[in-house]
Structures are given as C-alpha cells and as structure tokens.
Amino acid sequence: QMESFTYSISHDLRAPLRAIRGFAQALAEDYAPLLDDTGRDYLDRMCAGAERLDQLIQDVLQYSRLGRSTLTFQPIVIDLCLAQVLLHLDRDIRSSNAVFDIQHPLPTVLGHAPTLEQVVSNLLSNALKFVAPGTQPNIRVWGECQNDVARLWVQDNGIGISPVHHQRIFGVFERLQNSDTYPGTGIGLAIVAKGIARMGGKVGVESEPGKGSRFWIELPRPAEPTHKG
C-alpha cells in the first residue's frame, strides 16, 4: 500500500512541477532583462530547485516501480551489460577523465537485465562522483565465481566510507555528504539494494575513509546445461 501510495503521489507531483519549471523557464527567457541581478538570482535558484525536485521524484518513482513490477530472469553476460552502462555514462567518464581497469571476462549471472544495468550504473556513477576534488577517478571492475553464485566488484579510489555507515547508505535518502559538494538524491544505493534483493542476490561494501571503496553484488549463476547421452 505504501509503495502504491508513493508511486501515485510521485507521479501526480510531476504535472504541477512541470508547470513550475515551464513558467520559470519562460520567465527567464522572456523577462530576464526586466529583472535586476537579485531577481535573476532568485529565478536561477527557482529553476535549479525545480530541477532537483524533478530528479528526486524520478528517483522515487524508479525505486517504487522496482517494488511493483514483475521481473523476468535470464542469463546476463556482465561484460555486455557493463559495455552498455559505460556508453550511457560516457559524458561523466570523459568529464572526470576517469581510468577504468576491467578484468574481462566478467561472469554470467541470472537476473533481470534492465535492473542489473541500473544497479551497475548506480555503482559506477557513485565511483565516478565520490572522489576528492581534483582526483582522477580510478575504477577497477572484476568478477569472482563460487559454485552457484557470482560476485561483481567495483573498486574506486574515492573518499571512502566509515564502517559505521556501511549499512545505512543502502537506505532511502541516506547521504553522508551535502549536495553542494556531491549532488545526489540518496536513492541510488537503495535502488541497488532493492534490485539485487529482488533478483535473489546480496550486496555489500568494504571501505574506510580516505582509502576508496569496494562495492560488491552477488547473484545466482545460470544452471550449466545438462548433456544427455
């Protein structure tokens, strides 16, 4: 009930917000010369606030959709999933000058491809984002297989996370930094945790402040084909 309430409320909030954004934009385009510097500053803040609220609503919608939708599982070659994610993050990768070390081949897992893509994307965009100012992101990705499960690791050279916060950060709206330095909504890792749980997997992190982070996700591997005869 809570999930469907969140979903419809987030959905309904987008329509009036669209009007606020649209009119603020029209005001900026058509009337900016009539405003003084303070007026223009207020307008800029209004537009930025509306933009942030829209991102927040989209993230909440995505989170609650993940709880409502039916997921169909199939074997996923993580190398291909990762290639897709890197393509989507291309702009952030270029602007941060990030260096990747990807240990191919990565495992094949059983899961819901769009959800896994979102999970990997959230982990990588955090690895790109949470670095100390002026640091070139250095991201290592590798896999490990053990019996019927596979683990994917994402390691960064970022600001790190104190062990006391390792559980908390997977909750909704849990953020350790202010949004001026590191923008975000605090839903990315909640989507990771929920997505992985819905695919029957596990997630975790190893990290210390100033020493980078290693996030891992674990998912079932597809059953080996059985040969007859």
Check residue 98 for interaction with ligand ADP (CB under 6 A).
no
**Encoded tokens for 21:** 């954004």
Task: Burial-class residue 92 by CB neighbours within 10 Å (0-12, 13-18, 19+).
Answer: middle
What radius of gyration, in Å, describes the C-alpha atoms of the chain?
20
Check residue 52 for interaction with ligand ADP (CB under 6 A).
no
Smallest gap from residue 169 Cβ to ligand ADP (A): 4
Check residue 53 for interaction with ligand ADP (CB under 6 A).
no
Binding mask 113-132 for ligand ADP (x = CB under 6 A): ---------x---xx--x--
Among 152, 189, 196, 199, binds ligand ADP (CB under 6 A): 189
From the CB of residue 206, how many other CB atoms can be counted at a distance below 10 Å?
15
Smallest gap from residue 177 Cβ to ligand ADP (A): 5
**Encoded tokens for 122:** 């959230």
Helix axes 188-198 and 113-129, enclosed angle (nearest 10): 150
Largest interatomic CA distance in the chain:
84
Beta strand segments in 168-212, E: 202-207
Across the beta sheet with 138-146, the strand order is: 99-102, 138-146, 149-156, 213-220, 202-207
**Encoded tokens for 207:** 């990290």
Check residue 161 for interaction with ligand ADP (CB under 6 A).
yes
Stretch that binds ligand ADP, among 12-20, 88-96, 141-149, 181-189 (CB under 6 A): 181-189
**Encoded tokens for 29:** 């385009």
Among 66, 213, 217, 218, binds ligand ADP (CB under 6 A): 213
Check residue 157 for interaction with ligand ADP (CB under 6 A).
no
For ligand ADP (CB under 6 A), the number of binding residues is 22
Residue appearing with tokens 């009007």? 19
Check residue 63 for interaction with ligand ADP (CB under 6 A).
no
Check residue 204 for interaction with ligand ADP (CB under 6 A).
no
Stretch that binds ligand ADP, among 3-11, 17-25, 109-117, 179-187 (CB under 6 A): 179-187
Interface ranges with ligand ADP (CB under 6 A) = 122, 126-127, 130, 156, 158-161, 169, 174-177, 184-190, 213
